[in-house]
Structure 1
Amino acid sequence: MAAKQAGVTIEDVSKSFTVRAGKQVEQVHVLDRVSLRVEPGEMIALTGLSGCGKTTLLRILLGLERADSGRVTVNGAEVRGCGEDRSMVFQNAQLFPWRSALQNVEFGLEARGVPKRERSRTALDKLELVGLAHAADRRPDQLSGGMQQRVGLARALSVDPAVLLMDEPFGALDAQTREGLQAEVLRIHQETGKTIIFVTHDLDEAVLLADRVVLMAPNPGRIDEIFPVGLARPRGDLVTVRGLKEFSAKRYEIWRRLMAGAHPQAAAAAPAAG
């Protein structure tokens, strides 16, 4: 399958929100001069404590939010709103309950005026890619949570985005389903070469999937440190990957840095990796 890739550049992005509580009005500074370069075909994990602006940054990348200052470009073109070069998988699949799995995947193509036969063929191809071609005619209430998330992933891929954004799409799933979908994401990345940026609180997931893990710090949100993962691709069996000394060492390194921001005394007392 030919890869459709794009590089992403985030330059000095800052964002604040106005919060009203009764008569009180407060400006909450969510992101402060965030800069990051994502290479074409790279998979990046954004992680960090709650409130560090991970989801806000993802929404700015998608075009749902506008930065107060700074700029975001995809293949050199500035992001000024939602576009066909980006799509997103949300925490909840957000499927239309009255549509079948196939019709949900078709939705983005339908909105773009793709002819029915072509969009049905494309949607079925994407359902096959996520292992759900057999469930094409089922409605969301006939699908498990993991299957619904697969449909959401197929829908995001159906429009052939150059950049795939994922906002904790597996956070509400049980461990076994989550690990199955992590393997699916690795396989799809291997087959499509998409540039993928995903948010996760799970450090295991970040190290398993990403080429680099971007640790963000809160109040206001900013990049604390960037960790190259260094595990070879393709990563194959995730059970084997989890057993690698390199996996454990990298996860511990990121955890120790994360704890240094949240609980400095505990992090200082923790032994160094190795």
Structure 2
Amino acid sequence: MGQVSLVDVSKRFALRVEKEVHVVNALNGVSFDVKDGEIAVLIGPSGCGKTTALRIAMGLETATRGRVMVDGRTVTGCGYDRGLVFQHAELLPWLTAFQNVMFGLEMKGMRGAELKDTAMRYLKLVGLEQSANRRPHQLSGGMKQRVGIARALAIDPAVLLMDEPFGALDAQTREGLQAELLDIQARTGKTILFVTHDLDEAVLLADRIIVLRAGSLQEIIEVGLPRPRGDLAAVRGSAEFAETRYRIWKALHQAETTH
């Protein structure tokens, strides 16, 4: 199971500028659910609270008010029921791709043949078994992100949290990884909470799109595109894609006029 619920989540930061302290409201009473086995996308402009919400869900930040629950249990810190993929892969540079995937498994207590077999299985899942012995500086940006995805999936989390993982990649690599992520999700059934600021990416990936603006929930948009979505070019050319993309744009545009 991989159900996630944010319940009335608020987050305030105190920033000191010279001698003055300013309070920043990163999130203001945000509530939404992510269903088991779906891809939910958090979208909004920079500074709207997307990454803060994800970090609270991971247990890296504590909410000022409210709570996050995974499968009915309140999140009180990091746990193996959640895996995180960063915007940049954050691989350990002195380890090979294979060793980077093994690292999380070792932290979980796995040893011996099971450790190696599991790490290789997830490298194969992302198509990198032939690059297992390469170090990060020998990998392209897209390959690094695939290692990061393999590392997060290897611990078998109920929920995969992804913070703009394709945002720094070129368009062609990004489109390839979007298709690969959809394929991986179809094969594993993982629940995914994905952060992006890209409207096209949100529509291509999501079952539901959660629009944030200035720390507040603006709208939740259901995506009617059928799965599987193997032919992304056909998806992009569909009327449903254009209509959903416009709904996101409209929600963000309306928000701009009210903040």
- For 1:179, the equivalent position in structure 2 comes to 175
Counterpart in the other structure of 1:129: 125
Q: 1:93 aligns with which of 89, 92, 105?
A: 89
Alpha-carbon separation, structure 1, partners of 2:111 and 2:212: 43
RMSD value, Cα: 1.0
1:235-265 Cα shifts (integer Å, max 9, x gaps): 111111111111111101211221222357x
Structure 2 CA distance, aligned partners of 1:8 and 1:140? 32
Matched with 2:210 is: 214
Q: 2: distance between equivalents of 1:246 and 1:113?
A: 46
Structure 1 vs Structure 2: percent identity of aligned residues?
60
What secondary structure sits across from 2:252 in the alignment? Answer: helix
Match of 2:54 in 1: 58
Correspondence for 1:138: 134
Contact 2:42–2:211 (CA<8 Å) still a contact in 1?
Answer: yes
- 2:138 is the counterpart of 1:149: no
TM-score by length of 2: 0.98
2:212 is aligned with 1:235: no
- Tell me whether 172-181 or 66-75 shows the greater mean CA deviation: 66-75
User: Equivalences for 1:5-154 in 2 at 5 Å?
Assistant: 5-154=1-150
1:272 alignment partner in structure 2: none
Q: Is 1:110–1:116's contact at 8 Å kept on the other side of the alignment?
A: no
Query: Please, which moves more after superposition, 253-262 or 52-61?
Result: 253-262
- The CA distance in 2 between the partners of 1:9 and 1:215, in whole Å, is 16
What's the offset of the Cα at 1:166?
0.2
Q: Equivalent residues in 2 for 1:252-271 (5 A)?
A: 252-262=246-256
| CA distance, structure 1, for counterparts of residue 246 and residue 5 of structure 2 | 28
Q: Structure 2: 5+ residue runs without aligned partners?
A: none
Say if 1:127 and 1:136, in contact at 8 Å, map to a contact too.
Answer: yes
1:8-42 residue CA offsets vs partner (Å, 9 max, x unmatched): 11110111011012211111111111101111111
- State the partner residue of 2:190: 194
Unmatched tracts of structure 1, length 5 or more: 265-274
Aligned equivalents of 1:63 and 1:125: distance in 2? 27
Any idea what the Cα deviations from partners look like across 1:29-85, whole Å, max 9, x if unmatched? 111111011111111000011111000000000000010111111111110000110
State the Cα deviation string for residues 99-127 of structure 1 (Å, max 9, x = none): 00000011111112211321111111001
Equivalent in the alignment of 1:271: none
What is the total number of aligned residue pairs between the two structures? 258
Q: CA deviation at 1:171?
A: 0.2
Residue type of the alignment partner of 1:82 = C
Q: Contact 1:204–1:251 at 8 Å: present in 2 too?
A: yes
Q: TM-score, normalised by structure 1?
A: 0.92
